[in-house]
């Protein structure tokens, strides 16, 4: 074998070795990437979350008055407590239980508050982690069980097509308030936002070239 032939064999061997080595490294990386990671446990002190929520809104002398409860929860407190009571009675997920160590889980108030606040403000699941002391996946699970429970418990009464009696009642109410013959009405307009932050102008600007906010009025 000449020296040139020997060099060719060596180069071919090195190329084959490099290719096989790269394949082994890639396979190891894929295994590590696809290997399920163990979720880190975070001690959130859920009991403190319930106490804080109770003192803020449900204590005999709460921190925040009913008007602020109505604004933040989009409903009055008696209605909220009625929903919580029905869900706790009829939906097992909202019943507070002890774990194997005898420690209570999240309270029905925490679970319902997480779901209602997500619906009211349209925010992500981890928004209320620091306040209510529950993680994003738990908050999303609360939302799923909450919506399913509401449909199951209140769907037949409130989530149905209005009857002739319902429509007549709405017509009577509208007529008394100066809107004869009206079942429902919705209207909206763009109101110029004079002091819109510069960073938000593109988000709130439409065809007029000026930032606006949509004002919507609903009557029913």
Q: What is the pLDDT along the chain (220 residues), one digit of tens a residue?
A: 555 555 555 666 566 666 666 666 666 665 555 555 566 778 888 889 999 999 999 999 999 999 999 999 989 999 999 999 999 999 999 999 888 888 888 999 999 999 999 998 888 888 888 889 888 889 999 999 999 999 999 998 888 888 899 889 888 988 888 888 887 777 888 889 989 998 888 888 877 788 999 888 876 6
Q: Are 111 and 88 in contact (CB under 8 A)?
A: no
Calpha distance 164→186 (Å, rounded) = 22
Q: What is the largest CA-CA distance in the chain?
A: 110
Q: pTM score, two decimals?
A: 0.62
50/195 Cα distance (integer angstroms): 39
Residue with tokens 């999240």: 106
What Cα–Cα distance (Å) separates residue 189 from each residue in 91, 138, 193, 212, 213?
Answer: 42, 38, 12, 9, 8
Domain ranges for the chain: 46-158, 164-219
d(CA 44, CA 73): 23
């Amino acid at each position: 074998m000449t020296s040139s032939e020997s060099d060719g064999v060596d180069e071919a061997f090195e190329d084959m070795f490099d290719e096989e080595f790269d394949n082994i490294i890639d396979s190891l990386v894929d295994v590590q990437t696809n290997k399920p990671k163990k979720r880190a446990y975070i001690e959130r002190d859920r009991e403190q979350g319930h106490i804080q929520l109770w003192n803020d809104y449900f204590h005999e002398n709460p921190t925040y008055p009913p008007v602020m409860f109505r604004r933040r929860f989009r409903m009055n407190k008696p209605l909220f407590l009625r929903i919580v009571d029905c869900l706790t009675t009829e939906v097992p997920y909202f019943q507070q239980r002890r774990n194997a160590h005898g420690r209570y889980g999240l309270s029905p108030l925490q679970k319902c508050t997480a779901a209602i606040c997500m619906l009211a403000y349209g925010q992500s699941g981890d928004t209320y982690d620091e306040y209510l002391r529950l993680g994003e996946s738990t908050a999303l699970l609360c939302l799923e069980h909450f919506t399913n429970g509401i449909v199951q418990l209140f769907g037949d009464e409130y989530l149905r097509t209005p009857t002739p009696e319902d429509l007549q009642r709405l017509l009577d109410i509208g007529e008394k308030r100066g809107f004869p013959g009206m079942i429902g009405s919705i209207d909206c307009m763009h109101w110029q936002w004079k002091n819109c932050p510069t960073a938000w102008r593109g988000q709130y600007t439409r065809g007029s070239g000026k930032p606006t906010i949509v004002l919507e009025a609903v009557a029913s």
